[in-house]
Every structure is written in structure tokens, then in C-alpha cells.
Amino acid sequence: MNNAKQKTLKRQRRHKRIRAKIQGTVDAPRISVFRSNKHVFVQAIDDVAGKTLASAWTKNWKDKALQDASFEAGKDVAGKLMKAGITKGVFDRGGFIYTGNITKVAEGLREGGLKI
């Protein structure tokens, strides 16, 4: 098995362990973050109903650096949730290490007014 595939499998195992412990509801949706090589994707998910309540990704802020765009994506999702009357969320880092872009998303969510 090559290195890249092994890395992906390890991340997926970590994500499974995290998902076993957290669940999003209507009042506190799960804020899921996925980081690809080029972009960061953020979604607010109600696991009970199986619906995505809000989403954003860094492609909308092409003119900014990836960390700044990650911050803006988090802020955007927080703004959409605040409009819907949701003030709390459960942060799901998706098996990624809590540094860099993942941290910036969380900071953007907090600055947008969401309690995570």
C-alpha cells in the first residue's frame, strides 16, 4: 500500500472514532470540516434529520490565501446559522489535526457568533 493511501485510511479511522462520540441536532448541528489539497469545505449538518443546514468552501475567496479563506468560510457558515436562529454547534475536525486551516475555520465560526 502506498503512503498516500495509508495516510487517508488512518485519517478515516480517526474520523470514525470522532463520529462515534458526536452527533449534530437541530439546536446544535455538527460542523464538519474537510480539507483537500486545494480547498477547505465546511458544512453544518443535522444528523437526526440527515440534512445539511449550511455550507461554504474556500473557492468563494480565491483572491485570499487558504488560511484567510478558511477563516472566511467558517465565518460564512456561522452567519448562515445565526440567521436561522442557531447559536451552538459541535465541531467535527474530520480526523484532521487541529492546526492551520482547521483552526482557522473554528476561529471563523467563533467570530461569526457560534458557540462551539
- What's the mean pLDDT in 5-12? 96
Domains of the chain in sequence order: 3-111 (3.30.420.100)
What confidence category does residue 25 fall into, taking pLDDT thresholds of 50, 70 and 90?
A: very high
Q: pLDDT tens, 58-104?
A: 999 999 999 999 999 999 999 999 999 999 999 999 999 999 999 99
How far apart are the C-alpha atoms of 62 and 15, rounded to whole Å? 28
- For the stretch 36-55, pLDDT in tens is 999 999 999 999 999 999 99
Task: Please say whether the beta carbons of 78 and 46 come within 8 A.
Answer: no
Asked if residue 100 lies in contact with residue 75, where contact means CB atoms within 8 angstroms, the answer is: no
Which of these, 82, 83, 69, lies nearest to 115 by C-alpha position? 82
DSSP character for 60?
G
Is a pLDDT exceeding 80 seen at residue 1?
no
